[in-house]
Amino acid sequence: MEYLNPKAFTASLIYSLLGIIILVLSFYLFNKLTPGTLRKEILEDHNLALAVMASAFMLAVALIISAAIHG
């Protein structure tokens, strides 16, 4: 059972945590670079276009990170 290799499991766990940290930091940077606050615009003002844009940004960054980590 090659997929239960402890070294591979540890590496995938570390890369997953690293990817999540990079994604959160990039979203925080995206929030700082845009005017206003995303939280207020999406949750209080119900700005659907901004919610779609933010989710597309997070998906794009997640794909880039996963491609960079996976090789």
Q: What is the pLDDT of residues 56-68, one digit of tens each?
A: 988 988 888 888 7
Query: Given this model, what pLDDT does residue 25 score?
Result: 92
**Residues of the chain with confidence (pLDDT) below 50:** none
Phi, psi of 35 (to 5 degrees): -70, 145
Query: How much is the pTM?
Result: 0.70
* CA dist list (Å): 58 to 6, 7, 42: 30, 29, 15
Query: Given this model, what pLDDT does residue 52 score?
Result: 94
